[in-house]
């Protein structure tokens, strides 16, 4: 790692500066959504469908309305009178806000009660009578696309089947040719199961619409407050200048807090109609059954390989389970997100991917759960395939990767699906991780253990991500280009305020973004206050998800700091009576090149910016930048997991987990490592236990933390972290983003390790979550 260039007191890039946000959080003074209380606030509870598919013949809300303390009961019919029974989704579909005709999944919003107290609102839900007429539920995408399957979206014009979309990329002809040249084709069919980000704080809103002034102040657990303001303006027809979205402290997001959910629309409409603030905070069950699911792709991958272990081509067929509405949160032009990163870290010329999405009677959502839009699924598939290919060819899985890696000198490298990877040194990364874990010795231990009837497995994943969406020529969400912004003001005393379009949910922006300013201008990070999340007080941006804060918002921060540095140099030249071009800035000292004793500090310059300027210069030291990235960034890593599997029970335990990440320049190594440990845990969770599944009637199994298992400290493995640092060549500070790498890369490493333990028995696949009974069944079937 490069050493920091600023002293510790300044705390620029590379310092593990302590987090500014901690002070309030460790004293219980955080300000989360449910902590906000406005005078006269009413509370909303939502009645949800118990059935997965049913016609609504009538709703009787009389008894609920009559309950003391209930202010209003809102149904789909009432919303319809205001043109708000349906809302547009981020993927160009429409979604029911409150059901009017049918319910299409268990947990769908049917009615809402607004009451003076949350307990009363919940009591009233039980008094609402809904007359449902059962319809057959469709619980798999395969059933959904069968001839004659019941039509889920019968209200949707032009929709006469359950197909949501078809999408393909790559070159089918070149891919055919590659397969024709191959010595063998290795096939893997696997399901990336439905999962849920489940941040510890659920989603919520406090809508305060003033019916006299028309001012709507909306407190909301939002990863993208500016985009949400624009979407609120479009959906509700409110003038955008009268909408203020405030996203307060957020208790984790991981993609769950990107979409707009029906509850937000109902609460806002209710506040407008009633003229009082309305608060709605999801219960955990509501969170898990109705908002923001992720993944759910059935994938078939085929790899064309030679007997020497060279990869020639890749073919993928996928079917995704979209639930009842197509509401994926992802760039408009990408039906299956950035799945085409599926060619991974390997150099081969041909790939073809085709994908279908199907409606089912399940919750919609399709969020990128700690992932830059389906990159997790893609990375998983290629890393599983490469390992299986190594077994078929008869070479070591590490060697298989080394033979196929894109080499450092090949960058910039255009993949078979059109990404231009900017930089990397994959062989060094993998070799470093192999050495750390003691790979050769482990293989010997594995062989010895096998001889004793013990099952040890070593799993590798070498992933490449594509993050930081993105260049405006390609990336937009609902038409809004995926740029981001930073506004920097330096006050006369040399203290600064930085305002961002991105929004932290725990990533530490208040600290790391101040460090970028510290690096560029030499103002100590402690003197830079970072503001974010309030649309009235920050410049426009698309928000924080897809690891885009540092690649886009961080770049904007560096660029705006450099604009100020240029002005600061001119002011310093004036103060020092030197030529502009003779001034250099280093750690907050502006001096004349060659005579370091002729110098002023950035604080002197800040004061001069308001008191003593060169002729003709405008007062002040502030600016704003909107950054349009020239390319995505491509973080990568080599992860190695060692497990032992109990052959009698199928229980597996992680013995070692070595994770090497290259996220380019690390702004705050402590925070980066924290992100990686959290991400590895979520990757472990998906491979081992997290699972939103359904029975044949469409009942969600996994509707609370008793059934949807997330790892505690007891199950979570210990991690050994390593780093290399190949800076991104196009990012102003060489950073690539890191928040999602570990979630993207690690599931394949964990699953590959379990497969590796039983591969000699002929096992090539166990679907996630790799539950002990599935492992046992695989061993049993192979044996």
* List of long-range contacts for 210-217, beta carbons under 8 Å, 24+ apart: 210/275, 211/272, 211/275, 213/242, 214/238, 214/239, 214/242, 215/242, 215/244, 216/242, 216/243, 216/244, 216/268, 216/271, 216/272, 217/244, 217/246
Smaller CB distance to other proteins: residue 36 or 478? 36
Distance of CA 593 to the CA centre of its chain: 45
Q: Does 67 bind other proteins (CB under 8 A)?
A: no
What does 505 interact with, of ligand FES, other proteins, none (CB < 5 to 8 A by kind)? other proteins
Q: List the one residue out of 765, 778, 653 whose CA is nearest residue 192.
A: 765
Catalytic residue among 95, 223, 322, 387: 223
d(CA 323, CA 374): 16
CB of 294 to ligand FES, least distance (A): 18
Smaller CB distance to ligand FES: residue 259 or 506? 506
CB of 199 to other proteins, least distance (A): 6
By CB under 8 A, what part of segment 163-202 binds other proteins? 197-202
Active site residue 284: no
Q: Which of these ranges, 280-288, 454-462, 646-654, 724-732, lies near other proteins under the rule CB under 8 A? A: 280-288
Whole-Å CA distances, 424 to 70, 138, 372, 421 = 60, 45, 19, 8
d(CA 187, CA 191): 13
Smaller CB distance to other proteins: residue 204 or 364? 204
Active site residue 718: no
Smaller CB distance to other proteins: residue 15 or 19? 19
Q: List the one residue out of 476, 55, 482, 99 whose CA is nearest residue 325.
A: 99
Cβ within 8 Å of residue 207, ≥6 positions away: 216, 217, 218, 219, 264, 267, 268, 270, 271, 272, 277, 278, 279
By CB under 6 A, what part of segment 243-302 binds ligand FES? 252
Among 3, 28, 57, 58, binds other proteins (CB under 8 A): 28
Applying CB under 8 A, the site for other proteins has a residue count of 54
Q: Which of these ranges, 179-187, 504-512, 643-651, 764-772, lies near other proteins under the rule CB under 8 A? A: 504-512
CB of 35 to ligand FES, least distance (A): 15
Catalytic residue among 203, 371, 663, 700: 371
Q: List the one residue out of 577, 586, 584, 587 whose CA is nearest residue 612.
A: 577
Among 12, 470, 506, 698, binds ligand FES (CB under 6 A): 506
What does 273 interact with, of ligand FES, other proteins, none (CB < 5 to 8 A by kind)? none
What does 610 interact with, of ligand FES, other proteins, none (CB < 5 to 8 A by kind)? none
**Bridge partners, 562 (sequence order):** none
Active site residue 740: yes
3-class DSSP state for residue 126? coil
Smaller CB distance to other proteins: residue 108 or 287? 287
DSSP string, 305-318: E-TT--EEEEEEEE
* Cβ atoms of residues 125 and 47 within 8 Å: yes
Q: In degrees rounded to 5, what are phi and psi of residue 409?
A: -80, -5
DSSP string, 601-649: EHHHHHHHHHH---TTPPS--EEEEEE--SS-B--EEEEEEEEEE-TTT
Smaller CB distance to other proteins: residue 161 or 720? 720
What does 424 interact with, of other proteins, ligand FES, none (CB < 5 to 8 A by kind)? none
Whole-Å CA distances, 187 to 4, 285, 321, 385 = 47, 38, 21, 7
Give me the 220-249 binding string for other proteins, x by CB under 8 A, dash otherwise. -----------------------------x
Q: Which of these ranges, 20-28, 89-97, 388-396, 625-633, lies near other proteins under the rule CB under 8 A? A: 20-28
Catalytic residue among 370, 374, 548, 656: 370
By CB under 8 A, what part of segment 704-733 binds other proteins? 704-706, 710, 712-714, 716, 718-719
Active site residue 450: no
d(CA 739, CA 675): 6
Among 248, 292, 508, 543, binds other proteins (CB under 8 A): 508
Smaller CB distance to ligand FES: residue 173 or 200? 200
Indicate the residue whose CB is closest to ligand FES: 200
* Cβ atoms of residues 739 and 470 within 8 Å: no
Distance of CA 9 to the CA centre of its chain: 33
3-class DSSP state for residue 276? coil
**Relative orientation angle of helices 669-688 and 741-758, to the nearest 10 degrees:** 40
Among 200, 212, 451, 713, binds ligand FES (CB under 6 A): 200
Q: List the one residue out of 227, 641, 258 whose CA is nearest residue 434.
A: 641
Smaller CB distance to other proteins: residue 202 or 379? 202
By CB under 8 A, what part of segment 638-697 binds other proteins? 670-671, 673-675, 677-682
Q: Does 57 bind other proteins (CB under 8 A)?
A: no
d(CA 132, CA 778): 42
d(CA 243, CA 272): 12
Cβ within 8 Å of residue 142, ≥6 positions away: 298, 319
Applying CB under 6 A, the site for ligand FES has a residue count of 3
d(CA 755, CA 687): 12
Q: Does 18 bind other proteins (CB under 8 A)?
A: yes
Tokens of 764: 């090539």
Smaller CB distance to other proteins: residue 36 or 449? 36
- Catalytic (active-site) positions: 223, 370-371, 740
Residues near ligand FES (CB under 6 A) are 200, 252, 506
By CB under 8 A, name the binding residues for other proteins: 18-19, 21-23, 25-30, 32, 34-35, 119, 197-202, 249-252, 254, 283-285, 505-508, 670-671, 673-675, 677-682, 704-706, 710, 712-714, 716, 718-719
């Amino acid at each position: 790692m490069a050493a920091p260039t600023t002293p510790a007191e300044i705390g620029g890039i590379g310092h593990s500066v302590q987090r500014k946000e901690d002070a309030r959080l460790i004293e219980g003074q955080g300000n989360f959504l449910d902590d906000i209380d406005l005078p006269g606030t009413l509370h909303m509870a939502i009645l949800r469908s118990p059935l997965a598919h049913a016609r609504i013949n009538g709703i009787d809300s009389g008894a609920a309305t009559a309950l003391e303390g209930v202010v209003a009961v809102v149904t789909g019919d009432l919303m319809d009178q205001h043109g708000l029974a349906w809302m547009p989704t981020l993927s160009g579909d429409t979604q029911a806000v409150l059901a009017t005709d049918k319910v299409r999944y268990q947990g769908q919003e049917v009615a809402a009660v607004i009451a003076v107290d949350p307990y009363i609102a919940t009591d009233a839900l039980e008094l609402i009578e809904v007359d449902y007429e059962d319809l057959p539920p469709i619980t798999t995408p395969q059933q959904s696309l069968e001839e004659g399957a019941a039509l889920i979206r019968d209200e949707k014009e032009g929709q006469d089947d359950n197909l949501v979309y078809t999408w393909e990329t790559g070159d089918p002809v070149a891919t055919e040719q590659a397969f024709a040249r191959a010595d063998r084709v290795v096939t893997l069919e696997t399901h990336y199961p439905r999962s849920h980000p489940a941040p510890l704080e659920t989603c919520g809103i406090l809508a305060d619409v003033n019916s006299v002034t028309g001012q709507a102040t909306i407190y909301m657990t939002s990863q993208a407050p500016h985009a949400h303001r624009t979407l609120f303006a479009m959906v509700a027809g409110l003038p955008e200048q009268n909408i203020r979205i405030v996203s307060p402290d957020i208790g984790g997001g991981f993609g769950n807090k990107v979409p707009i959910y029906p509850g937000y629309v109902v609460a806002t409409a209710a506040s407008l109609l009633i003229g009082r603030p309305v608060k709605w905070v999801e219960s955990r069950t509501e969170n898990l059954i109705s908002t923001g699911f992720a993944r759910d792709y059935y994938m078939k991958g085929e790899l064309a390989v030679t007997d020497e272990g060279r990869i020639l081509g890749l073919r993928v067929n996928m079917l995704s389970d979209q639930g009842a509405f197509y509401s994926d949160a992802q760039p408009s032009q990408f039906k299956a997100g950035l799945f085409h990163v599926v060619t991974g870290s390997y150099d081969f010329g041909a790939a073809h991917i085709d994908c279908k999405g199907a409606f089912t009677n399940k919750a919609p959502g399709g969020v990128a759960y700690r992932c830059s839009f389906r990159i997790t699924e893609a990375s998983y598939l290629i890393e599983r395939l490469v390992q299986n290919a190594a077994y078929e060819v008869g070479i070591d899985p590490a060697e298989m990767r080394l033979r196929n890696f894109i080499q450092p000198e090949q960058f910039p490298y255009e993949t078979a699906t059109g990404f231009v990877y900017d930089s990397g040194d994959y062989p060094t990364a993998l070799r470093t991780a192999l050495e750390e874990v003691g790979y050769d010795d482990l293989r010997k231990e594995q062989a010895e253990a096998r001889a004793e009837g013990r099952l040890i497995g070593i799993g590798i994943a070498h992933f490449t991500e594509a993050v930081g969406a993105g260049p405006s020529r390609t990336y937009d969400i609902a038409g809004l280009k995926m740029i981001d912004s930073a506004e920097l003001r330096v006050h006369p005393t040399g203290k600064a305020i930085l305002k961002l379009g991105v929004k932290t949910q725990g990533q530490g922006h208040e600290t790391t973004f101040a460090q970028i300013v510290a690096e560029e201008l030499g103002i100590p990070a402690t003197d830079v206050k970072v503001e974010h999340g309030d649309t009235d007080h920050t410049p426009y941006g698309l928000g924080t998800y897809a690891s885009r804060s540092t690649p886009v918002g961080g770049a904007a921060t560096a660029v705006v700091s450099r604009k100020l540095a240029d002005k600061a140099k001119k002011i310093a030249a004036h103060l020092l009576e030197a030529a502009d071009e003779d001034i250099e800035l280093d750690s907050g000292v502006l001096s004349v090149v060659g005579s370091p004793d002729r110098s002023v500090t950035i604080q002197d310059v800040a004061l001069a910016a308001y008191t003593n300027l060169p002729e003709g210069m405008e007062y002040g030291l502030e600016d704003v930048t909107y950054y349009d990235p020239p390319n995505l960034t491509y973080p990568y890593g080599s992860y190695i997991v060692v497990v032992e599997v109990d052959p009698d029970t199928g229980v597996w335990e992680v013995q070692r987990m070595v994770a090497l990440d290259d996220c380019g320049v690390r702004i705050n190594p402590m925070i980066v490592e924290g992100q990686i440990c959290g991400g590895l845990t979520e990757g472990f969770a998906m491979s081992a236990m997290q699972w939103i599944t359904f029975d044949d009637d469409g009942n969600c199994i996994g509707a609370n933390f008793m059934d949807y298992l997330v790892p505690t400290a007891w199950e979570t493995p210990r991690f050994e972290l390593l780093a290399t640092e190949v800076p991104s060549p196009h990012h102003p500070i060489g950073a690539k983003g890191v928040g999602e790498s570990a979630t993207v890369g690690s599931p394949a490493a964990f699953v590959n390790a379990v497969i590796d333990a039983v591969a000699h028995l002929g096992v090539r696949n166990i679907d996630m979550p790799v539950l002990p009974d599935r492992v046992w069944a695989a061993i049993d079937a192979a044996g």
